[in-house]
A and B are shown apart, each in its own frame.
Chain A
C-alpha cells in the first residue's frame, strides 16, 4: 500500500462546479497535512495546510479525518484557472522526518 494515495483523475468539470478530492495516508503517526497545487511542468506551491478542525480559504475547504486517515479538498465555484494537479502531502515525524507526496489528482475545468 502506498504511503499517500490519491485518485489520479483527471477530473473534468464544468466551470462553476463543486469538486472534491480525497487522499488517504497509511501512517497513523502522521502529524501535518498539506495540499499543494502544481501547474503543468511547474513547481508545486502550497495551497493550504489542513487542520483537524477543518479550514477554509475562499472557495477552498480542507478537512482532516484522523480516524479514517484521509484528508479532503473541496473546491466550490470552480474556475478555469483552477485547472492544475493537486498534491496531497503528509508529514510524519520520527527518524526520517518524512514528507511524503501523493502522485497528484489532475483537475481540468472546462467552459
Chain B
C-alpha cells in the first residue's frame, strides 16, 4: 500500500529536549516536505527536499532542521523545542514538485511544555 508514515503520532515533551519526528514514504517520490498546521493559520511549510541531499527552507524554518540522506526518509529535528512549536505536523511527498498531488502522512501532534 502506497503511504507516508510518521512517528511518533503523539508526543509531549519539555522545553529544550531534542526530538526527531521520522517520515518515510514508499512511493519512490523525489519531493518531500514538512508542514505545521495551527488554528486559523492553515498549513505552513517548514522545509522541503527536492531529492537526496537537497533541502531548502519553507515559510517557517526557524527552530527546525531536516536531512535527506535516503530518498524514502525525511526526518524533522527540533534541536531545542519551545512551547511555540506546539502544533500538528504533517510530512508530505509528491511525484515531482509541488504542482503535483501531495500525499500526506497521518500527522504528529506535538506538545511542548
- Interface residues of chain A, those whose CB is within 8 Å of chain B, are 4, 8, 31-32, 34, 36, 41-46, 49, 87, 91, 93, 97-99, 101-104
| B-side interface size class | 10 to 19
Docked complex Cα distance between A98 and B58 (Å): 9
Q: A97 touches which one: B40, B42, B97 (CB < 8 A)?
A: B97
Counting chain B CB atoms within 10 Å of each CB, the highest count among A45, A93, A99 belongs to A99
Docked complex Cα distance between A8 and B104 (Å): 22
CB-based contact A101/B42 at 8 Å: yes
Residues on A with beta carbons closer than 8 Å to the beta carbon of B90: 43-44
CB-based contact A44/B43 at 8 Å: yes
Given A41-B88, A43-B90, A97-B98: A103 in contact with B42 (beta carbons within 8 A): yes
Residues on B with beta carbons closer than 8 Å to the beta carbon of A104: 42
Residues on B with beta carbons closer than 8 Å to the beta carbon of A43: 90, 104-107
CB-based contact A42/B106 at 8 Å: yes
B46-67 interface code vs A (CB 8 A; 1 in, 0 out): 0000000000000000000000
Docked complex Cα distance between A8 and B42 (Å): 11
Given A102-B42, A104-B42: A41 in contact with B107 (beta carbons within 8 A): yes
What is the distance, in angstroms, from B31's C-beta to the closest C-beta of chain A?
A: 9
